[in-house]
Amino acid sequence: MSTTDWPLWEVFVRSRRGLSHTHAGSLHAPDAELALRNARDLYTRRGEGVSIWVVPAAAITASSPDEKDPFFEPAADKPYRHPTFYEIPEGVKHL
Amino acid sequence: MTATGSATVPVTAALALGDDALVLSHRLGEWAGHAPALEEEVALANIALDLLGQARVLLSLVGDEDELAYLREERSFRNLQLVEQPNGDFAHTIARQLYFSTYQHLLHAELAAGDGPFAPLAAKAVKEVAYHRDHAEQWTRRLGDGTGTSHERMRRACAALWRFTGEMFQPVEGLDVDWAALESRWLESVAEVLDRATLTVPEGPRTGAWSAGAGRQGIHTEPFGRMLAEMQHLHRSHPGASW
């Protein structure tokens, strides 16, 4: 048995209620159930999480580095799109 | 020797439970660097560390944890013979874990529900052990209901360790537990897991005539001596050494 037979899974962990799931890393596992358990052992044993998602890495469609400029460059010079014109009220976290 | 609870800690019981956890922890630790997959190695190490934590609490209740772990002779250990069995292949490790974690989970759930001296630590351990049990059940199902080879290896492992399972239900002095009820719940659960894994409950006796109550009385199988020598070597070579 070798890890190379096992598919790759991407792991997303929600660290607290009210936050969204964040990509934590990846791992190999034979199926979804074990991927979830491996994720628990690898990424949440110091109390980092309240919820875990595992997604087959093959199911993720990613933007290519070659497309970086047309994808992201045009947004850079449009400051009016950024919410920078008001003060964040005190006590609002995670914004 | 007063405990966290109101009652005094029964020494025999603390050693039995503590030694089970310590010895199995060491066995699982032997997988470090050898597990079939990196993810599985971390899983086994996690289980080993949970057990080590339990062992430390239990042994500290009745003495100095280092002295008890590193300076006792083989005959003074009170662990089950099941937990000292060598890792064998991965199927052997999983079968051993299935038998033991199911037992430990049922036992700790019962202790946690009572008001004896072990209730507080059992309440904490029961959550850890529930995960160990789940891990073993998941793997038993996949190996049993996997390929021809994995099925055969899992079948062999379950059969080989079967004769060490009777000892678990010999009453331990100081533990107020309905052992017969515990045993029937254990049999029911293990049979269900094996059935889902397309395996059958092994036939044959669950104790050898010579081994009845053996580990709990300090009588151990041959591989235990070697394991103990390795576990105690460093501490005995450098008494009192620290990091």
- Alpha-carbon separation of residue B12 from B18, B64, B104, B115, B175 (angstroms): 10, 15, 17, 18, 9
Q: What is the pLDDT of residue B7?
A: 55
Q: What is the pLDDT of residue B3?
A: 43
B39 vs A2, A27, A31: nearest CB:
A27
* Chain B nearest C-alpha distance from A63 (Å): 28
Q: What is the pLDDT of residue A3?
A: 47
Which residue range(s) make up the domain with A20?
Answer: 6-62
Q: Which residues of B touch A31 (CB under 8 A)?
A: 142
Percent of chain B with pLDDT over 70: 95
CB contact (8 A) between residue A34 and residue B142: yes
Interhelix angle B179-196/B119-144, nearest 10 degrees = 30
Q: Which residue of B34, B39, B94 to mutate against A (max A Cβ within 10 Å)?
A: B39
* Chain A nearest C-alpha distance from B111 (Å): 25
| Mean local confidence (pLDDT), B205-232 | 85
Which of B50, B64, B46, B63 has its CA nearest to residue B22? B50
Domain count within chain A:
1
Is A68 among the domain residues?
Answer: no
Question: In angstroms, rounded to a whole number, what is the distance separating the alpha carbons of residues B51 and B69?
Answer: 14
pLDDT digits (tens, 9 = 90+) for A52-69: 999 999 999 998 888 888
* Chain B nearest C-alpha distance from A81 (Å): 43
Which of B54, B72, B71 has its CA nearest to residue B118? B54
pTM (2 decimals)? Answer: 0.88
Q: If you compute the radius of gyration of chain B from its CA atoms, what whole number of angstroms results?
A: 17
Residue A87 pLDDT grade (very low, low, confident, very high; cuts 50, 70, 90): confident
B39 vs A31, A38, A45: nearest CB:
A38
Is A88 among the domain residues?
Answer: no
Is A76 among the domain residues?
Answer: no
Task: With a cut of 90, say whether residue B113 has pLDDT above it.
Answer: yes
Residue B125 pLDDT grade (very low, low, confident, very high; cuts 50, 70, 90): very high
Is A10 among the domain residues?
Answer: yes
CB contact (8 A) between residue A37 and residue B142: no
Is A83 among the domain residues?
Answer: no
Is A81 among the domain residues?
Answer: no
The ipTM estimated for the assembled molecules is 0.77
Q: Which residue of A1, A44, A45, A52 to mutate against B (max B Cβ within 10 Å)?
A: A1
Is A51 among the domain residues?
Answer: yes
CB contact (8 A) between residue A3 and residue B39: yes
Task: With a cut of 70, say whether residue A95 has pLDDT above it.
Answer: no
CATH for A52: 3.10.20.520
Question: In angstroms, rounded to a whole number, what is the distance separating the alpha carbons of residues B71 and B197?
Answer: 42
A28 vs B37, B134, B138: nearest CB:
B37
Question: Could you tell me which chain B residue has the CA closest to the CA of A1?
Answer: B36
Those residues whose C-beta lies under 8 Å from the C-beta of residue B197, and which sit 6 or more positions away, are: B140, B141, B142, B143, B144, B145, B154
Residue A51, classed as helix, strand or coil, is: strand
Q: Which residues of A touch B154 (CB under 8 A)?
A: none
Question: Could you tell me which chain B residue has the CA closest to the CA of A4?
Answer: B37
pLDDT digits (tens, 9 = 90+) for A23-57: 999 999 999 999 999 999 999 877 778 899 999 99
CB contact (8 A) between residue A1 and residue B90: yes
Lowest-confidence pick of A63-72, B45-54, B97-106: A63-72
Is A77 among the domain residues?
Answer: no
Q: Which residues of B touch A1 (CB under 8 A)?
A: 36-37, 90
* Chain B nearest C-alpha distance from A60 (Å): 21
Task: With a cut of 50, say whether residue B1 has pLDDT above it.
Answer: no
Q: What is the pLDDT of residue B237?
A: 93
Residue B209 pLDDT grade (very low, low, confident, very high; cuts 50, 70, 90): low
CB contact (8 A) between residue B142 and residue A30: yes
